[in-house]
Amino acid sequence: MTSHYLFGRLHQVVTALTARASWTYSPTLSLQFYAQPFIASGAYREFKEAADTYANDYEDRFDEYGPDELREMDGVVYVDRNGDGAPELAFDHPDFNVRELSTNFVMRWEYRPGSTIFLIWSHGRGSSEVDGRYRPGHDLGQLADEVGEHVVMAKANFWVGL
């Protein structure tokens, strides 16, 4: 079995935002909020295979696949170098879209000096697909439709003076 080392030109776009807010209701009661939506897309083009990696000229180090040598079907790219219709090589299409959202709320109550209770709500959701097109409105809409994971936690500290 022969090893094939494939390369491609990647056009990647990443968009992220980090938002934080704090509200202090009294010296003993506060609420903190954190949110981070993230979307990324990547599209691969100009596929090529390593040929003579020690060649003096950069262009001679790779064999670039022409458009007539590539065929895509059901998310798989087939390479037919000799044009006989039987692919010599196949690989999953590497284009991608990734979407994620992380949020947290933390409420802190100091019920007596040095003793606190924390109530935490954490939410996360994410998805991905093989597309590669940068469409922030579509990606944020898809992210809003995803089922998320909710975690609720509580932590209590009690100060004991010695």
- The verdict on residue 1 lying in a domain is no
- The verdict on residue 111 lying in a domain is yes
Show the domain range for 84. 6-157
The pLDDT of residue 1 is: 64
- The verdict on residue 131 lying in a domain is yes
CB 45 within 8 A of CB 9: yes
Q: How many domains does the chain have?
A: 1
Mean pLDDT of the chain: 91
- The verdict on residue 162 lying in a domain is no
Q: Given a cut of 70, is residue 103 above it in pLDDT? A: yes
CB 7 within 8 A of CB 39: no
The residue whose two tokens read 């809409």 is: 141
- Predicted TM-score (pTM) above 0.85: no
- The 10s digit of each residue's pLDDT in 104-153 is 999 999 999 889 999 999 999 999 988 889 999 999 888 888 999 999 99
What mean pLDDT do residues 78-93 have? 84
- The verdict on residue 140 lying in a domain is yes
- The 10s digit of each residue's pLDDT in 20-48 is 999 999 999 999 999 999 999 999 999 99
